[in-house]
Amino acid sequence: MLNNYKLDAEDEKIISELDNLCGVIQNKEILKDMILYIKLKQNNELNLGNYNILIRNNSSYNLLSDLIKICSKIFLKYNIIENDRICYLDKILNSRNDNPLDKIIGLDDSIIVINDRKLKINYSDELDRLSKIINQLKNKVFIFEDTNFCEGEVDGELGNLYSFRMTIDKISLDDKIMYCRKKLDEYNIRYEKIDIKDYVNVPFWVLKNMITKLLIECKIKDLDFVDKQILKNIKEFYSTNRIIKKNQKSSKKHEEKKATEELNELIGLNEVKKQIDTIVNYVKINKEKGQMPSLHMCFTGNPGTGKTSVARIIGKIFNEENILNRSGDFVEIHGRDLVDKFVGWTAQKVHNIVESAIGGVLFIDEAYSLVSDRRGSFEDEAIATLIKEMEDHRNEICIILAGYTEEMKKLIQLNPGFESRIQFTVHFPDYSCEELLKIFKVMCKKEKYKLSDSCEELLMNDFNIAKYEDNFGNGRYVRNLFEKIKFEQANRIAHSNTNAINTITKRDVENTISKIKHNENKKVRIGFYN
């Protein structure tokens, strides 16, 4: 009877398919147990209920379907299911008003995949109904995908609705090395182990393309050994720095400024520039050692001090220095943009926003707005999910939290998870009056305006007063003042015969400042006036 409970050659072959997948190989023993349990149950020797599976998915790559397909081969072999068709329940809904559980009864598919975050299912409310559906449909297997920001929460909610638990891990550097070496070994292509480690240090979706190209080149050129130069050439081919052809590169360098030049040309911010330079050097050296640090940062300071501008430039620097392996977007949001209005929606929204900025910079302004006095709030869910995403994509994205200094300190202190993930904190000081004037003059130069005599003195006096007012906006204040002066100048020219349409006069500046002060005084008047 013991022989009845051994895995046969077909079983072993199915299980071995995990070897070709990253992040799932740890499920081999679980698949073996599943097969043995099926045999025991079919012989009426053990009955734990059903064959349903809870899969904890920690990866951002689409490995779930690959793992489920392998499981379906086992179920099909032992006649647990009628076909190998898989239904991802969230993909067949026409609108958010659909009740996903109503769709299950009429499905011909044998494997039903349910993700509570995608479907907005509250398991505690639907548990009895879901249990009845599972008991009614004995010829189907239910897969529960757990992507919840709090691991173990779904396990506790589902209780006895599943019999097996699997995991999909985040693809590590070791996984990528294993994947690359297996592909090369499969085709008897030799290599140096030390060269492979550097070659695979890219996002997994890029690596798969790189391996395909490498194998094609080896076969076409009849190569049985790949050296460091071949690997380097292919990696550079897929690098985002290869935007243009070689014969265009030299002219491109002259046409575009380097990101470090853009940073150095910013007015003021001398300490910030030094700190960014130190950060970049630190990251580059550690990456060369194979010890890539987290790229996440915290920017503190008042509005208009250049935080957004520097964040944009950091994304360009990381791209130019090949720290981030592809040129992602610069995504700028407000802290409140991470919060959605219904239970279960916030975590998915955070995930989607982070995914949209992979390879680039996600700049979260006024991040302290996520602080809430109520435990279990949507803000808490947003923070917990953001912290998880910061860890999952620590080498693929730079997430920058920005806001007022004291408020940001409170946010970090209230959520210790941020402290271990935020590698760098950069403080942006207020601009001096001289720096504010330089900013104003740069704006004039860009739009081809000229300042007449005495304008600079008027502007300096105004900046010196405005700097000490509440909620002073630094660069933003200068921008708003410049725009108002342009309106005043245009109105003056329209009522005169002058041809000096690009000149800003003392009168333009005086009238604009006077109107601003007049409007501010009107806002604060309280009581009755004659």
Q: What is the pLDDT of residue 252?
A: 43
Hey, which of 133-142, 152-161, 281-290, 365-374 has the most confident mean pLDDT?
A: 133-142
What CATH number is attached to the domain comprising 482? 1.10.8.60
Q: Do both 377 and 356 map to the same domain?
A: yes
Contacts 24+ apart (CB under 8 A), 406-414: 407/368, 407/371, 408/298, 408/300, 408/367, 408/368, 409/300, 410/368, 410/371, 411/367, 411/368, 411/370, 411/371, 412/298, 414/371
Pick the more confident residue, 94 or 135. Answer: 135
Q: Indicate the residue among 142, 168, 194 that finishes a domain.
A: 168
SS3 state at 398: strand
CATH number, domain containing residue 321:
3.40.50.300
Based on the domain organization, do 25 and 134 belong to the same domain?
A: yes
Could you report the per-residue pLDDT of 308-345, keeping only the tens digit for each?
899 999 988 888 887 875 556 788 999 888 888 766 67
Q: Examine the fold and report which residue of 144, 168, 192 is the final residue of a domain before the chain moves on.
A: 168
Burial bucket for residue 513 (CB in 10 Å: 0-12, 13-18, 19+): buried
Q: Which two tokens stand for residue 497?
A: 């015969």
Q: What are residue 321's phi and psi, to 5 degrees?
A: -90, 5
Here the tokens at position 395 are 């080498």
Domain of residue 59 covers: 2-168
Give yes or no for residue 449 having a pLDDT over 70: yes
> How far is the C-alpha of 134 from the C-alpha of 132, rounded, in Å?
5
Q: What pLDDT score does 391 carry?
A: 86
**Are 410 and 262 in a shared domain?**
yes
Confidence of residue 206 (pLDDT cuts 50, 70, 90): confident
On whether residue 244 sits in a domain, the answer given is no
Q: Contact 283/229 with Cβ under 8 angstroms?
A: no
> Is residue 243, in this structure, part of any structural domain at all?
no
- Strands (DSSP E) found in 7-110: 53-57, 86-88
Instruction: Give the pairing of strands 111-115 and 398-403.
Output: unpaired
Same domain, 142 and 28: yes
In a domain, 470, yes or no: yes
Residues 424 and 288 in one domain: yes
CB burial of 333-359 (b: ≥16 within 10 Å; e: otherwise) equals: bebebbbbeeebbbbbbbbebbeebbb
Question: 409 and 468: one domain?
Answer: no
Q: Find tokens 């001289």 and name the residue.
A: 434
Pick the closest to residue 66 from 199, 186, 204, 177 (CA basis): 204
Residues 390 and 497 in one domain: no
Domains in the chain, number: 4
Residues 461 and 405 in one domain: no
Q: Give tens-digit pLDDT for 227-263.
A: 888 888 888 877 644 433 334 444 444 445 688 888 9
Amino acid at 112: I
- Residue 145, helix vs strand vs coil: strand
Last residue of a domain, one of 428, 450, 472: 428
What pLDDT sits at residue 518?
Answer: 60
Pairing of strands 424-428, 398-403: unpaired
| 304, part of any domain | yes
Per-residue pLDDT band at 526 (split at 50, 70, 90): very low
The residues pairing with 361 across neighbouring beta strands, listed in sequence order, are: 330, 398
| CATH number of the domain residue 205 falls in | 1.10.8
Given a cut of 90, whether residue 82 has pLDDT beyond it is: yes
Average pLDDT over residues 169-181: 84
Q: Evaluate whether residue 529 is within a structural domain.
A: no
Does the residue 189 lie in any domain? yes
Does a structural domain hold residue 251? no
Whole-angstrom Cα distance, residue 231 to residue 63? 26
Same domain for 177 and 144: no
Q: Are residues 121 and 41 in the same domain?
A: yes
Beta strand pairing status for 398-403 and 330-334?
A: unpaired
Q: What is the mean pLDDT of residues 92-99?
A: 68
In this predicted structure, what is the pLDDT of residue 10? Answer: 94
